[in-house]
Amino acid sequence: AISGGQPTVEEHRRLGGDVSKDVAYQYLQFFFENDDSALSEIKSEYESGRMLAGEVKQICIDRATEWLSDLKQRRDQMADSVPDFLASDAI
C-alpha cells in the first residue's frame, strides 16, 4: 500500500508522515478504527515521526484481521439460516 512515510527512517523521524497519502491510515479512518481518540493518537504519532509507516500498516492489519475473524464467526452462526432466505426453488 502507498504510505505517507518518508524515503528513509531518518527523514521520517525528522519530517513525519502524511496521513492524507497513507492508504493504511485511511483504511483505519474509514473502516477499521471506531475510536476517534485512538485514531487521533495514531495520526499525531505518525505525523510527528514517532510512528513509522510499517507500524501504521501493522495496526491496520491487526484491525482488518479482527474484522475478518468477526465476519467469519457471524457467517458460521448464520450458515444454517441461509435456506430460510432463498426461494423454495433455489435449493
pTM of the shown model: 0.81
The answer to whether residues 21 and 2 touch, using CB atoms and an 8 Å cutoff, is: yes
Higher pLDDT, 71 or 88: 71
Q: CA gyration radius for the chain?
A: 19
Question: What pLDDT digit, counting tens, does each position of 37-66 carry?
Answer: 999 999 999 999 999 999 999 999 999 999
Number of helices followed by number of strands (H, E) in the chain: 4, 0
The answer to whether residues 49 and 17 touch, using CB atoms and an 8 Å cutoff, is: yes
